[in-house]
Amino acid sequence: MKFSVKFGLLDMIRFKNLVNVRKRHIQEGASTPITVDPVNTLAQTLHPLTLDLVISKVTIETPSTKTFRLVSADGLKKVLPFFRAGQYLSIKTRVEGSAITRPYTISSSPNDALAGFYEITLRKKDGGFLSEYAFSNWNEGTRLTASSPCGFFYHERLRDTTEILALAGGSGITPFRSMIKDIVENGKNLKLTLIYGTKSPNDIIFAAELGELAQKAPEKIAVHVVCSEPDSCWEGPTGFLTAECIKNIAGDLKDKTVFICGPQLMYRMLDNELKVFGLPARRIRREVMGETADVTVIPGYPKDLATKTFSITVRSKGSKKDIPALASETVLVALERAKFAPPSQCRSGECGWCRTRLIRGDVFVNPENDGRRIADAAYGYFHPCSAYPVSDLEIVAPQGL
Ligand code: FES
């Protein structure tokens, strides 16, 4: 094979000028290192690490679901950091003396951030540490600290097809409300078919609003609700989101990217149901939904240890502290119970925010939430939010403790 490169007199002159321009810039530059990076400063202004927010409005969506509107806590109506529909906020708060964080998907549209607010929608879960507390204690005026929007559960034009099949279960509707609003409000050239699995008609969140949005842009948005325990008035499809149900509503999936958000049980069921469509893994996107509710059902978890309590020696700033840790709870929860305040965002092994080093002992890493880099796994680093103690441990305190 032959390559020919053309290089003429003009190129020579341009190159010569380039060298002179570069020399001049070096001469004009400061003789001391720059201490402020204007690009970083701009990035931190647009996307600060933490946001001080206050609840400005509470909307009761269903008997067990509330939407909280969050605005800047300084009292000024100002633009909040922009985000991509599908991202979440990591809410930081204190419950019973413990500092905890929980990721909540932003259910409002990206345009609403420019109007000065985010919305998050919480369903009260029995035994849900923060959801029960928030349901009873968060009101207008409650102040919260949150991360800037983060996460990877959004449509990416370079990676995803322009046709989206959104599969939602229960409160997993929240990112899709944001995506649908984004498509309709901004006239995005995307088609989204939502199949929303819910228990009873009373549990449907955003029912009227989703219907109105679909009517505004019928060529882009289609909304289907499937009830597993319908009442006598229900006329829509019934049952669960099986392969047959998905095929009846959405047809062939060959030109679609599937986005899934819902309870962990639904993810496992859909893993099986979607196999018949033969989609490559990159065309199925799952929202991270926090820690696994019951790790004992995860294949490979040593069930005989589930009721045991181990000891974790936490090394921090030259000192050591021993704390108890249940085998059925993550190392992150053990740290929080012991009143450490470990950094965390996704609580699903994805973001790496809680990453730290395991010095001694064994952990069970949930394969569904194992976001470690290969090198990290090889050199003993782990994510406490997706790791469960299966022996006594010694760890380095996560960064910042
Ligand atoms: S909090 Fe995201 S990886 Fe642990």
Mutate-to-test residue for ligand 1 from 287, 346, 357, 381, highest number of ligand atoms within 8 A of CB: 346
In this prediction, residue 4 carries a pLDDT of: 72
**For all residues of the chain together, what is the average pLDDT?**
92
Contact 237, 247 (CB under 8 A): no
Task: Tell me the percentage of the chain whose pLDDT exceeds 70.
Answer: 97
Q: For 250-272, what is the mean pLDDT?
A: 93
In this prediction, residue 214 carries a pLDDT of: 98
Atom of ligand 1 nearest to the CA of 101: 1
**In angstroms, rounded to a whole number, what is the distance separating the alpha carbons of residues 249 and 259?**
15
- pLDDT over 80 (residue 365): yes
- pLDDT over 80 (residue 231): yes
Mutate-to-test residue for ligand 1 from 288, 354, 366, 388, highest number of ligand atoms within 8 A of CB: 354
- pLDDT over 80 (residue 262): yes
Round to the nearest angstrom and report the end-to-end CA distance of the chain.
59
DSSP-H helix ranges across 330-383: 331-337, 374-378
**Beta-sheet strand order (sheet of 284-286):** 221-227, 191-198, 163-169, 256-261, 284-286
In this prediction, residue 93 carries a pLDDT of: 87
Cα(321) to centroid(ligand 1), Å: 22
Cα(385) to centroid(ligand 1), Å: 6
Contact 262, 290 (CB under 8 A): no
- pLDDT over 70 (residue 75): yes
- pLDDT over 90 (residue 41): no
Q: For 11-18, what is the mean pLDDT?
A: 86
**In angstroms, rounded to a whole number, what is the distance separating the alpha carbons of residues 221 and 210?**
9
- pLDDT over 90 (residue 72): yes
**In angstroms, rounded to a whole number, what is the distance separating the alpha carbons of residues 30 and 34?**
8
β partners of residue 319: 316
Cα(355) to centroid(ligand 1), Å: 7
- pLDDT over 80 (residue 343): yes
Cα(319) to centroid(ligand 1), Å: 24
Q: Could you give phi then psi for residue 295, rounded to 5 degrees?
A: -70, -20
Weakest mean pLDDT among 78-82, 94-98, 201-205, 252-256: 94-98
In this prediction, residue 177 carries a pLDDT of: 98
| Residues framing ligand 1 (Cβ under 6 A) | 344-347, 349-354, 371, 383, 385
**In angstroms, rounded to a whole number, what is the distance separating the alpha carbons of residues 87 and 85?**
6
Atom of ligand 1 nearest to the CA of 343: 1
Mutate-to-test residue for ligand 1 from 345, 368, 388, 399, highest number of ligand atoms within 8 A of CB: 345
Cα(370) to centroid(ligand 1), Å: 10
Atom of ligand 1 nearest to the CA of 346: 2
Cα(353) to centroid(ligand 1), Å: 5
Closest C-alpha among 185, 168, 267, 275 to residue 224: 168
Closest C-alpha among 234, 251, 164 to residue 198: 234
Q: For 329-355, what is the mean pLDDT?
A: 92
Cα(102) to centroid(ligand 1), Å: 11
Residue carrying the six token digits 């009517």:
215
Cα 371 versus chain centre, distance: 13
Say if pTM beats, i.e. exceeds, 0.85: yes
pLDDT band for position 31 (50/70/90)? confident
pLDDT band for position 77 (50/70/90)? low
In this prediction, residue 202 carries a pLDDT of: 92
Atom of ligand 1 nearest to the CA of 347: 1
- Going 123 to 268 to 224 to 226, the CA torsion angle's sign is negative
Residues ≥6 apart with Cβ < 8 Å to 315 = 359, 394, 395, 396, 397
Structure tokens at 58: 């509470």
Cα(351) to centroid(ligand 1), Å: 5
**In angstroms, rounded to a whole number, what is the distance separating the alpha carbons of residues 362 and 360?**
7
Residues ≥6 apart with Cβ < 8 Å to 192 = 163, 164, 166, 176, 179, 180, 183, 220, 221, 222
**In angstroms, rounded to a whole number, what is the distance separating the alpha carbons of residues 56 and 71?**
6
Which amino acid type is present at position 7?
F
Q: Could you give phi then psi for residue 103, rounded to 5 degrees?
A: -85, 130
pLDDT band for position 401 (50/70/90)? low
The count of other CB atoms within 10 Å of the CB of residue 281 is: 6
Closest C-alpha among 365, 306, 305 to residue 331: 365
pLDDT band for position 153 (50/70/90)? very high
- pLDDT over 70 (residue 55): yes
β partners of residue 147: 50
Q: For 77-94, what is the mean pLDDT?
A: 91
Helices vs. strands in the chain: H and E counts, helices first? 10, 18
